[in-house]
Every structure is written in C-alpha cells, then in structure tokens.
Structure 1
Amino acid sequence: MLRPVLDPSPAEWISSRLGGTFGAASRTVPRDYAAYARICHPAERDRGGWASWSEAAAETGRRVHGAMQWHALVGSPDPVNLTGSLWRGSPPGRGNLPSHSLTALLAVLGDHTSTSDTWFCLWEGYGWADEATLSREQLEAPRLRHPGRDYLLFTGPLTSATELGWRPRPNWFEAQSPNLFWPDDRAWCAATEIDFDSTLVAGEEALIDALVKAPGLEAWRIEPDTSLAADADRINHLP
C-alpha cells in the first residue's frame, strides 16, 4: 500500500546527481549509473488500439532512433500542435506512462533490485492533488525540491506505483505513473518528466538490456547526455 512520507530527505540524494545541457536525460534521471534507457510512450490509433513509435515511423516513412522526436517522426514542424502531422491518431501522452506500459515496466524493474521498498515522487502541480485525494497533512508537508520541480513523496512496495491517480467518479480511476521512483537500494531510478512523452530509466547494464528486449515496451538505449529537446532529432528533422 502506498504511504505518504512527510520528510523529503530520503529523496535528496538525487538532486546533486542531476545536470547537463538543456534536454539531457541526466537532467531528469541521475548520473553515475552504468546505463540508461528511454521508453517511448505508445500512441493511440484513430481507430482504437496502441501503436509504438516504430509502427508509426513505418507508416510515415521516418527512421527510429534513441533521440527521435514524435513531431519529427510524423512530419510536423510544430512540436506542440503537430500541424501537418501524417499520423491520424493521438500523439503519445506527456508526463504519464499508460497503465499497461507501467505494468510491463514494473515487471522488469522488480527483477533488478534487492528490496521491495520503493520511493515515489509525484509532481505537486497536478490539479487533482487536493484534499479530495491527499490528506491536509500531506499537502502541507515539506516538498522535495529538485531543479524546476517540487514533489510529494510516498513509499510502498514497487507494485503500489499503480495506486497513484484520482477518481473523477467513484467507479472511474485515472492512473498517474510516478514522476520519479527508485528502490531503497537505489539499484535503478526511473522518471516520467511531466513535459516528456517518454520515461527514462537509469540502472545496471543487465536492466537496460532487459528493458530493450521486454515485450510491451519500446525502449531504446541512450546516454546520460542524450538530448530529448524538441530539436534533438537530427535524422528526421525537416529542412
């Protein structure tokens, strides 16, 4: 069960290990891990169902690679409004890894830590994170402060990552993947930055290899300095 943590100090180790140029993966997940992966959030098709970035690229005639950007992949010069997009469905969601992808990710991460105790960070800016969802004690607790983002902190078993979210109605749950989470042994660290349509993972080589091969995920090996900025795709960029 997910439990709120009122003392942010267990998460303060991360801040000193974040850095790099604008857009770098290491501004979101910490440096000094052996390997890194980028998990591309799936896109929804206009006729229903999910599509990987590789499938979208096959339909738009673009090339897939670790630093690809969705707007470039679908032929749009506009990274925000996607004007002129060749993709008929919806773009990948930003700041949230869909539940089925999160479940697939958790299955791999669980095999690469010696503890089930996990720390979870949730960005404080979500409109639904109010007293209807969180207690007043939690809302008034000190925040974990990282560059550009402040978070609420929780702890629980790894599987409780699926408990974050809110209920617009009693029988309707909208899941929110953790914005940042890691096991107590710090064997890895995963992050879904609110402005990214990808989830980043830092960890050992064996973990990254497993993610790249995992069914249900589209993961690409990257470097800590790999840029995910809007202009980072130098292969599919438009003239």
Structure 2
Amino acid sequence: MATPTPDATPGFWLRDALDPEGHTVAGFVPAGYPFYARILNPVGVEGFGSEPRRLAWSEAAASVGAPVYPWMQWHETVLAADGALPREWTSPAMGDLDQVRARALAEVLEQHTRTPEECFFAQWDGYAPVTGNNGVVTFPPDREMKILAGPLSDGAQPTGNSGTPVNSGMEHPSGAHGGRRPLYWWPQDRAWCMGQDIYARSVLLGVSGPCLKDLFAHPDLDIFSVRLSDAVYPEDD
C-alpha cells in the first residue's frame, strides 16, 4: 500500500522539473519525454436503481455536436447541447481520475517501467482524507503536495486516512466516496510521469512511443496527443 513519506526528497525532482508558471503541459509533466497525452474523464450516466455508467467524454460531445479535439472543454459540450443535455448525464470528475480510467492507466503504465513496485505519488494537501506524517513539496501553480510511495497499483485507489488507499468498491465515477486518487504518479525510474490539477477533468502524461501506442490501444482510455507547450486552462466551469 502507498504510505506517507516524511522525507519529501522524491518530490524534489518533479517540482524542479515542472515549469513554475504552471500554464502549459510543462507545468504538470516534465520536459524530456518523447510524447505527451491527455486522458479525459468520462461522463457519468445515472440510472434509477442502478450504479452509474460511463460514457466517453468524446462520444458524449460528438453526440450533441460539440467539437471533439485534444483540448475540448466540458462547457463546450454543455453549450453545444443548447439546453438539451441529457438529464441523466453528470459532468466528468474534477481533480480526480475516474476509477475505471485509473485502473486502465495503471495496467498500461506498469508495462512501461522497470520499477512498477517502486512508485511515488503526490496528493494535494487540501484534500482532507490525506493525513499523516507526509513530506510536503510545493508544485506549480502553488499547490502544496503530500508525497506517498508504493506500488503503481496504489495510484488507482482513492487515498483514505493517513494517505493510504481505501477499498471504496463501485463509486460514482468521481471516486469521491473514499477520497481521491493522487494527482501525480511517477515510477522510481521516471520512465513516464502523470499529472493533473485540482481543477482538471483530465490527466496529462509524458511517455515513450511504445507506451503511447499502448495507451491509445486500450479501450477504456479516452486519449488525445498533446504538445508540451500547449496551454492548460482550469476546467471548473
């Protein structure tokens, strides 16, 4: 299980590698990777007497005539629907990676690191469930992050008290019932890196070519290629 790390040293590399302005992809994942990608959280589809289903955000957008492109925004989907957005839809989770996407991402990423059992995670200090004797590092844009360590599989689980993963079962797509998943993941060998902001409905990755190919091939990932210099905007609208 991921455990709090009183020594914040593992987070220094990432802090120092990120663009301090925090306005582009380089503010969330470091330069130096061959490829970069954005993975979108899904739209929740609520039903009576049943658990929420998931609809790929890109599919939802296309169905209402909204633009589908690497930096699509949720408000564009809402506006395109012109008041006719299906009532059972819920907006993509913000500041957390959907549980199905998280598990799919972990499945792929563990095949592209030599250290899947030795990974680090960073969670925003403002998320109440993360407590304990953690090292704290400030990431752009001025976010105090607590550092956790453990196998990659722990990144796909919401963090509970003391920063350790909790078994929340089937949740709302946000995963909020048992806390939130770490905002940043990276392995000891730094073969790839994932990051997002508390106001993001998607995650950003720096990866190798083979890893990118496998990410695109996974049926549970709604993914687009992006550039390190692309602007990143808050998605809390």
Give the TM bin, normalised by the shorter chain: 0.7 to 0.9
* Post-superposition CA distance 1:45-98 (Å, at most 9, x none): 24341111122122211221101111112317xxxxx99473531110101112
Q: What stretches of structure 1 of length at least 5 have no aligned partner? A: 77-81, 232-239
The question of 1:57 aligning with 2:56 is answered no
Q: How many residues align?
A: 216
CA offsets per residue over residues 31-50 of structure 1, 9 Å max, x none? 12111110000011243411
Q: Contact between 2:61 and 2:77, CA under 8 Å: does it hold in 1?
A: yes
- Does residue 1:215 correspond to 2:181, yes or no? no
Cα deviation code 1:92-120 (max 9, x no counterpart): 01011121111000000001001121001
Aligned residue number for residue 44 of structure 1: 44
Q: Is the 8 A contact 1:124 1:152 kept in 2?
A: yes
Q: Which runs of 5 or more residues in structure 2 are unaligned?
A: 169-176
Please list the CA deviations of residues 160-197 of structure 1 after superposition, one character each: whole Å capped at 9, or x if unmatched: 22344238xx9956252211110000000011321100
Larger Rg: 1 or 2? 1
Q: Which residue of 1 aligns with 2:153?
A: 159
Shift of residue 221, structure 1, vs aligned partner: 0.7
Change (3 A) 1:115 1:230: closer
Aligned residues of 1:74 and 1:87 also touching (Cα < 8 A): no
> Shift of the alpha carbon at 1:203?
1.3
Q: TM-score, normalised by structure 2?
A: 0.82
Question: What is the aligned partner in structure 2 of residue 86 from structure 1?
Answer: 85
**Displacement of 1:15 after TM fit?**
2.2
Give the TM-score taking structure 1 as reference length.
0.81
Q: Aligned partner of 1:40: which letter?
A: L
> By how many angstroms is 1:20 displaced?
7.6
Judge which range, 185-194 or 53-62, deviates more. Answer: 53-62
**Structure 1 equivalent of residue 126 of structure 2:** 125
CA distance in 2, matches of 1:122, 1:20: 18
SS of corresponding position for 1:201: strand
Question: Residues 136-181 of structure 1: CA distance to partner in whole angstroms, max 9, x if unpaired?
Answer: xx1xx541122211111111111122344238xx995625221111
Q: 1:176 to 1:15 in 2, by over 3 A?
A: same
